Amino acid sequence: PAPPAPTTPPPPPAAEPEPEPEPRPEPPASDPYGLGTGSQRGSAGQGQAAVEWAMGKVGTPYLWGGTGPDGYDCSGLTSQAWKAAGLSINRTSRDQYKQVRKIAYDQLRAGDLIFYGRGNDPTSITHVAMYVGGGQMVEASRPGVPVRVTSVRWSGTMPFAGRP
């Protein structure tokens, strides 16, 4: 008789295919500029009133942590200006940025806030100023410099301005 033909072992059983991962849900649609956390919204009239109040503080000394009347820091000036206009906003510049509705710079109107930091990182915010119109802003910038009106500085701004 002829020798048996060599046989190859059967292939190992096929592994179970990996299950398909669950698809990730689509993120919810949102306002591209961010709504902010504030429950109240300021009107154009309140923005103008906030500017008028802040302009009345021009020449007041800068005071770290100051909320007036003898001195202001940047966010003390903006929070007190909006308070005088009838709207309460957060005390610090970073908290103000979280609270306000984000707007494009070409939509700026009197009373809107301009935030400064490094890159696009909101946790790096170190300064806030208030837009007064005509390319100008009012700010309490640093020790030794009283509250002043100056041209808007575009270097170091956050990607969006804020509207209380």
Active site residue 127: yes
Active site residue 52: no
Token pair of 50 as six digits:
């906030």
Catalytic residue among 16, 22, 26, 74: 74
Asked if residues 78 and 101 have their Cβ atoms less than 8 Å apart, the reply is no
Handedness of CA 73, 77, 78, 79 (dihedral sign): positive
Torsion of CA 65, 70, 74, 76, to 10 degrees: 70
Q: Take residue 92 and report the two structure tokens written for it.
A: 């610090």
Catalytic residue among 16, 18, 22, 139: 139
* Catalytic residue numbers, as ranges: 74, 127, 139
